[in-house]
Amino acid sequence: MNGPTHALLGACAGLVAASALSMPAWQVACAVPLAMVTSAGHTSPDMDQSAWWRLLDRWLPDEALGESGPMRHRGITHWWGLVVVAGVALWMLAPGAWWAWALLAGWTSHLAGDFVFGANGGIPVMPWWNCVGLGLNVGGPTEAVTRAVILPVILAVLALRAGGIDVIGPIVDHIRAR
């Protein structure tokens, strides 16, 4: 998944986190950009593509593993287990840290996006190996439709819902009445 699509998915994740935590409006306004910060770029799991990470990779002993080591792209930073560990630690140590939940939501959204998009295997099941995913083409037509139509609609629905306007309920009620 490309950066702009990751950012939109991160915004959606920020709104979901805000809704799940029943955040007041000012926290919702902060949660969305916070989730976007960790959903794309060098503050996301894609930090493994940054210059400092590549430098660190040269110094760590995983170079004997070649491209299959933990420091590779979609290696350890893309492992779902880090999200679980961070979520449990956050829940136990600082459950009221809404801003941390927003950051974690953005990171998680990145992994979800890379699970769906990425012809090279998705995300690792184990810390940096055994990748799984749907394998849709990054930058392909499905991602373009996701970025241009699907995610903006989801974002609008979530934003309206965060503002107290339910647009899904009436649609569901109408379908049930048929």
The pLDDT tens digits of the residues spanning 123-162 come to: 999 998 899 999 999 999 999 999 999 999 999 999 898 8
Reported as a pLDDT band with limits 50, 70 and 90, residue 30 is very high
Residue span of the structural domain in which 47 resides: 3-177
Residue 167 has pLDDT above 90, yes or no: no
Average pLDDT, whole number, for the chain? 92
Residue 64 has what pLDDT?
58
Number of domains the chain contains = 1
H or E element at residue 173: helix 168-177
Could you tell me how many residues make up the chain?
178
For residue range 13-28, list pLDDT tens digits in order.
Answer: 999 999 899 999 999 9
d(CA 62, CA 58): 8
C-alpha distances (whole Å) from 90 to each of 19, 49, 97, 111, 151 are 18, 26, 8, 19, 28
Residue 23 has what pLDDT?
92
